[in-house]
Amino acid sequence: MTSVCVVSDLHMFCRRSEWNHYLEQLDRAAADADLFVFNGDTFDFKWTTLESIDHTVEQAVEFLRSFSYRHAPCQVHVNLGNHDHVQKFMDALDRLSRELGNLSWHPYYLRVGSTLFLHGDVANRKMNHRDLERYRASWLHHKKQGRIRNQIYDVAFGAKAHVAISRLAFPHKRTLRRVAAYLDDIGHSAGDGVSRVFFGHTHVPVSGATYNGVTYHNGGAPMKGMKFSLLKAKI
């Protein structure tokens, strides 16, 4: 049995995320885990409050290096989401995974036995893998957003608009239908032996909903006013 921890949508370096409240919990969980999956949007290169993308890449790498080093018996997997599907970060992850024996990264998904981990931006609309690649390509060289735009979002967040918007944009059934269609396309559906899926992105928690023979889990996001949990499982 492999014990696994999954955490999604930390949105590190975005000031609307309370990621820093959870660092100790991540460390405690990783200390007992064989496998630790960062399931996308771990770092937010679009809304970073650091002065540049380059500096954000440096900080992200430093976080992952020290995390993987501290938890050396644990295999650390970094799945990318849309907010961290950034070319400079991917180049840095290539170097880092060569440097560290226990860190690997995956642009789209990771499968371990009958469990699949993916970020979940395929739930934006009906997407096959080609559509996802095209969508992600638009994030490769995405610019960091300016101060004014960030303040506008802060105001919307103050009004909790994000909570209502996420629920409206991602009703359970439609989300699961879209993820399931994508799994079919990449050959990792129930028929291919997948029985459990961990995803994120929608910021709407899902705890063990079953759709077409696959059970889905989403731990939500640590954005202010939203539910968030680090998920644990045995594989």
Q: How far apart are CA 38 and CA 15, in angstroms?
A: 19
Task: Print the binding letters for residues 26-65 with Mn ion: x by CB under 5 A, - otherwise.
Answer: ---------------x------------------------
Q: Cβ closer to Mn ion: 71 or 77?
A: 77
Task: Give the count of beta carbons closer than 10 Å to the beta carbon of residue 99.
Answer: 11
Q: Who's near 37: CB < 8 A, 6+ residues apart?
A: 4, 5, 6, 7, 77, 79, 110, 117, 198
Task: Fill in the amino acid letter for 94.
Answer: D
Task: Tell me which of 56, 82, 115, 175 binds Mn ion, using CB under 5 A.
Answer: 82
Task: Tell me which of 81, 219, 220, 222 binds Mn ion, using CB under 5 A.
Answer: 81
Task: Print the binding letters for residues 89-128 with Mn ion: x by CB under 5 A, - otherwise.
Answer: ----------------------------------------
Q: Pick left, alpha or beta for residue 120 (phi over 0 → left; psi -120 to 50 → alpha; otherwise beta).
A: left
Task: Fill in the amino acid letter for 40.
Answer: G
Task: Tell me which of 11, 16, 201, 217 binds Mn ion, using CB under 5 A.
Answer: 201
Q: Cβ closer to Mn ion: 72 or 161?
A: 161
SS3 139: coil
Q: How far apart are CA 99 and CA 64, in angstroms?
A: 12
Q: Cβ closer to Mn ion: 41 or 71?
A: 41
93: nearest Cα among 121, 72, 64: 64
Interaction between residue 84 and Mn ion (CB under 5 A): no
User: Shortest distance, CB of residue 130 to Mn ion, whole angstroms?
Assistant: 19
Q: What single DSSP character describes residue 142?
A: P
Q: Cβ closer to Mn ion: 71 or 201?
A: 201
Retrieve residue 1's tokens. 């049995």
User: Shortest distance, CB of residue 39 to Mn ion, whole angstroms?
Assistant: 10
Residue whose pair of structure tokens reads 């070319």 in the numeric block: 87
Q: Cβ closer to Mn ion: 81 or 220?
A: 81
Q: How many residues bind Mn ion (CB under 5 A)?
A: 4
Q: Pick left, alpha or beta for residue 121 (phi over 0 → left; psi -120 to 50 → alpha; otherwise beta).
A: alpha
Q: Cβ closer to Mn ion: 82 or 189?
A: 82
Q: Cβ closer to Mn ion: 1 or 168?
A: 168
55: nearest Cα among 91, 9, 17, 89: 89
Stretch that binds Mn ion, among 132-140, 145-153, 154-162, 198-206 (CB under 5 A): 198-206
Q: List contacts with Mn ion (CB under 5 A).
A: 41, 81-82, 201
